[in-house]
Structure 1
């Protein structure tokens, strides 16, 4: 059955994405509050959310934010966190390979983990309308920008202490990502331990941010790739 792209598919994607707003909205509010805490204006927060559209990397960027910001360091750190979108795009080739022009590039821009998971489920259930992915993505993009704006406004109206639990959102989000990626202790523990040890060692050497993060990420990734390559050999 050929792949199609219709308005009905876009509409179905929007409707399927509505339940996701229960998880997206609170996270977006947290990002908006933290953006205000680090000195971003409402306009800057909206621009960041609209262009980056990635909660985990936005939180990391905000944690590394200085005045004036080190743009290169922030961009590299965000790239490390978001590199997972490369295999996600490849996994969506069952629809993306059949799209062209604005449909393809817009769908790629607004694709996140949530829309990826639901699109895979839709495809496995026999769905052939690539508009489903675009509808999901556009809804989550609008919701994300609106939620971060609401968080910024809320943070300006309510004064939060520095030790408020809401500011633990950044480390908590990365712990959640690790939990979602967990496969087994044998596969994951050695690379994760090496990544943590390398990052802590780099920090102990007083290397500037985001060098400890990058060193840990590359060390863990290198070990993981080496182990998987060794196991794949006959």
Structure 2
């Protein structure tokens, strides 16, 4: 049976408490992102603007990884779009729950990171999702991400040779971890192989960072083709 919502202040605290572990866990990644951003020539203010406007850690990491001067805008746009397509599914999932927010729902969706979506869906299983709970969670994560990325940029500007400390390996290590987290046994093998092989071939044949969206599209296409057959099995 679904419980009634608590007073707004209690809901605000509940949202912040629910997201606190994820917010703290995001801080090291924010520091890493800020450091790598200044290594690519961005300023702390650039990092703050990026984290505030985009507010999507994985997309920001990829964008910084592909960043050069002048930035390949079309490559960046296509890559970030592919990475963030999961927000379409999350938005469809949460739409009915935030519809009672009224016009505030258009502000709320800017804070819809993966972690916010997860805690909101879990909360909605037992009681109505309130704006206070959503913004309590969302604003805390948003604040921690801004502070950690800017702090990483400020501290990173004092590091003259990131490779000396092994910080240049931060991106490969993080994305290797992300890739392994999607491993669901050998049934994911063809998707991973198609994405990896396509990315390697595209990297050798195409200039710039087009190997990233090429690999992503190959992986998606393979998953779509094999999905019905695996479902029948």
For normalisation by structure 1, the TM-score amounts to 0.88
Partner of 2:201: 201
Give the Cα separation in 1 of the matches to 2:89 and 2:120. 15
Give me the whole-angstrom Cα distance separating, in 1, the residues matched to 2:97 and 2:165: 43
Tell me if structure 2 keeps the 8 A contact 1:3–1:130: no
**Structure 1 residue 38, shift from structure 2 partner:** 0.6
1:3 Cα deviation after fit: 8.6
**What pairs up with 1:11-22 in 2 under 5 angstroms?**
11-22=13-24
1:90 maps to 92
Shift of 1:99: 2.9
Pairwise CA RMSD: 2.3
- Change beyond 3 A, Cα 1:117–1:172: farther
CA contact (8 A) 1:32 1:150 kept: yes
What is the CA distance between 1:233 and its match in structure 2? 5.9
CA apart distance, 1:147: 0.5
Query: Structure 2 CA distance, aligned partners of 1:123 and 1:157?
Result: 45
Per the alignment, do residues 158 and 219 of structure 1 end up closer, same or farther by CA in structure 2, a change over 3 Å counting? closer
User: Hey, what's the Cα distance between the residues in 1 that align with 2:93 and 2:80?
Assistant: 21
Equivalent positions of 1:193-232 (< 5 A) are: 193-205=193-205, 207-232=206-231
Q: 5+ residue gaps in structure 1?
A: none
What residue number does 1:23 align with? 25
SS, match of residue 183 in structure 1: coil
Change (3 A) 1:215 1:161: closer
For residues 69-102 of structure 1, what are the alpha-carbon distances to aligned partners after superposition, in whole Å with 9 as ceiling and x for unaligned?
A: 122221211112222222122222351233321x
Deviation string for 1:96-140 (max 9, x for gaps)? 233321x2122211111111222222223x031332222211111
Structure 2 CA distance, aligned partners of 1:209 and 1:7?
50
Partner of residue 162, structure 1: 163
Gap runs ≥5 in structure 2: none
Instruction: Give the secondary-structure state (helix, strand or coil) at the position aligned to 1:97.
Output: helix
- Whether contact under 8 Å (1:9, 1:129) holds in the other structure is no
Partners in 1 of 2:153 and 2:108 — Cα distance?
Answer: 27
Which residue of 2 is the match for residue 70 of structure 1? 72
